[in-house]
Structure 1
Amino acid sequence: MKLHRLFIGLGLALGSVLATAQPTYPHKPIRLIATYGPGSSIDIIARLVAKPLSEQLGQPVIVENRPGAGGDLGTNVVAKAEKDGYTIGFASAGPITVNPNARKKMPYDSMTDLVPVALIATGPNVILVNPSLQIKNLKELIAYTKANPDKMSFASAGMGTSGHIAGELFQHLSKTKILHVPYKGNSEAITDTLGGRTQLVISGVPPILPFVKSGQLRALAVADTKRSPLLPDVPTVAEAGLPGAESVAWYGIVAPAGTPPEILTRLGDEIAKAVHNPEVQEKFTSLGISAGTESRLEFGKRMTTEHARFKELFKSINLQLD
């Protein structure tokens, strides 16, 4: 009987230590706020991660779409939420590093009202032209644009999107001027470049892959520090002669500032595990993105560094999204 009581006492003590070391969650759902609508890349990636995360935590992780204002509406929901880990947000450059530097008024401060939880994935932009231009590489594009400034326009998925900012960065570094034509989505931007109504398009890899393979679009450079495995013959911007023009789309999870560190750590560890689930990895590859490998602190540094970089860029080119 004494031995039995000893085992019970040890079990209770061990349970108390484990509960303290790793916070547990009751079966209350976790809201994962997707800042863009159903079917968007953010919505797709959020749902891919939510499924294994829910299984790991043993509780529902509900993806809640809150689109609007370029991601600001949903991000503001996260910034103003309770600091208990039950409301987290899917973050991207738009509402975190672009809009705060390109809009006069913001409902939140992305650098003080939010904290990083985990980097989910990254994916490069690609600079492409309509083959009718007979431009074969980035140096030829720059030379042609300088010689024909009134003949060039570039398409993007919209104002403030990753493709738009990549185009602004390209112009800034190459000292060229190209008319920006924003669309309501990537498919429209690609379609008009295919038809010759715009000469240049900047996009993520998956939507343009079939057109590159068919020869309907010519990829000049990948805006990343390494080549895309889906486009192994396309050089990086640095290899093509324009270092510093890297523009990588990133996707991550943020939480309200003030969320306890132990909760952030637990969520970060579980999200990292979900991201490296083989099924998720396979889907990521098909989407042309790579799983995030940065720690929570490194992800936070990415956010602050890019925020400062865009602040300087937008000021120099007088970019306003209002």
Structure 2
Amino acid sequence: MRRRLLLAGAASAALGATSAAPVTTARAQSFPSRPVRIIVPYTPGGTTDILARELAAKLQPALGQNVIVENKPGGGGTIGCEMVARADPDGHTILMGHIGTLAINPLVYPQHSYDPVTGWTPIAYVANVPNVLAVNAAVPAHSVPELVALAKARPGVLAYGTGGPASASHLATAYFAYVSGADILHVPYKGTGPFIADLVAGQLQIGFTGAPVVMPLAKQGKLRTLAISSARRSNAFPELPTIAESGYPGFEADQWYGITGPAGIDPVVVARLNAEINRALGSPEIRARLEKEGGEPVPMPADALGKHIAAEIARWRPVVKAANIRLE
């Protein structure tokens, strides 16, 4: 009798395991079953926010559900990241991340509630966007050498804004200050939008952030652009020299963007999201928007983003150490 009960239990467990897989697959194949949220871990107005909203507009009809962009700023992007990392791994809550949140934060924040590499499900590489070094229109510098000379003549006086401590804009500017020897003052904000507003108003003198934010203001005469962070000149802004050719060979500090979700999202869901995001990146509207602002879409398989995150953490580790950036 005992043997028959054990065999019956084993058969029942096997049947349960067999039936569980189709249920999971069926749920994945019915994705999405409700609105999809794209969490932007910064305030509205920055490049991360701009790209998220462009993608949401394309994904909504493709997925047949509302795609909502939610801004969850704070903690240099960690608040929004942890919110997504703790979400149900069903694909309905995803993160619009970038170099700062996905590669830099793991190096500067000693405590994490998730593993910076294995704690995510990589979904899609989105784009590369160059940073642009800009100054307030009243600053008497029209080139990188002139700006560096001005900063050295007035050490600690010229202030630069960033989207927060250890954000992409902070790392790019700290890297620039490190290689040039410019003594400039860091003023962190809770997002790109607020610091750009103060840069235009003259409360700050320097800004080094994504081209989509800076270039429209430069065209309006509200800012003056000096250089671009890419290894080579941009086809969109051929007049802008690179930092490298302005006296600092090897300098490169572009921003990159990718979408991740909580660890454990079903591969069927990942494949659906990856395909729709890549399709959106190929649309004439998004390509034109990115190209106009110096960026380029980078459609890739989902696992390519995971490998890129790991490689970028390794690349920026010595820069963070040299700049002594560490946050609590």
CA–CA distance in structure 1, aligned partners of residues 69 and 137 of structure 2: 40
Bigger Cα displacement from structure 2, 98-107 vs 194-203: 194-203
Bigger Cα displacement from structure 2, 91-100 vs 161-170: 91-100
Give the alignment partner of residue 224 of structure 1, picking from 227, 230, 241. Answer: 230
Counting only pairs closer than 5 Å after superposition, residues 163-312 of structure 1 correspond to structure 2 as 163-186=169-192, 188-190=194-196, 192-194=198-200, 197-213=203-219, 217-285=223-291, 289-312=295-318
Residue 124 of structure 1 corresponds to 130
The residue type equivalent to 1:223 in the other structure is: S
TM-score normalised over the length of structure 2: 0.78
CA–CA distance in structure 1, aligned partners of residues 176 and 40 of structure 2: 29
Q: What SS does the aligned partner of 1:239 have?
A: helix
Residue 71 in 1 paired to residue 90 in 2? no
Distance 1:38 1:171, change over 3 A: closer
Q: What SS does the aligned partner of 1:33 have?
A: strand
CA–CA distance in structure 2, aligned partners of residues 178 and 226 of structure 1: 26
The residue type equivalent to 2:86 in the other structure is: K
Query: What RMSD, in angstroms, separates the aligned Cα atoms of the two structures?
Result: 3.1
Bigger Cα displacement from structure 2, 235-244 vs 278-287: 278-287
The residue type equivalent to 2:185 in the other structure is: L
CA–CA distance in structure 2, aligned partners of residues 188 and 91 of structure 1: 19
Residue 55 of structure 1 corresponds to 61
The residue type equivalent to 1:248 in the other structure is: D
Query: How far did 1:192 drift?
Result: 4.6
The residue type equivalent to 1:30 in the other structure is: V
Distance 1:189 1:27, change over 3 A: closer
CA–CA distance in structure 1, aligned partners of residues 325 and 175 of structure 2: 11
Residue 157 in 1 paired to residue 167 in 2? no
CA–CA distance in structure 2, aligned partners of residues 185 and 63 of structure 1: 16
Residue 9 of structure 1 corresponds to none
Superposed CA deviations along residues 231-284 of structure 1, whole A, max 9, x for unmatched, are: 220012222232343222222210222333343233212210022222333444
Distance 1:26 1:253, change over 3 A: closer
Residue 315 in 1 paired to residue 321 in 2? yes
Contact 1:42 1:251 in 2 (8 A): yes
Unaligned runs of 5+ in 1: 1-15
Residue 6 of structure 1 corresponds to none
Query: How far did 1:214 drift?
Result: 5.5
Residue 14 of structure 2 corresponds to none
Unaligned runs of 5+ in 2: 1-21
TM-score normalised over the length of structure 1: 0.79
Bigger Cα displacement from structure 2, 132-141 vs 265-274: 132-141
Bigger Cα displacement from structure 2, 239-248 vs 192-201: 192-201
Residue 4 of structure 1 corresponds to none
Count of paired positions: 304
Distance 1:185 1:61, change over 3 A: closer
Residue 36 in 1 paired to residue 42 in 2? yes
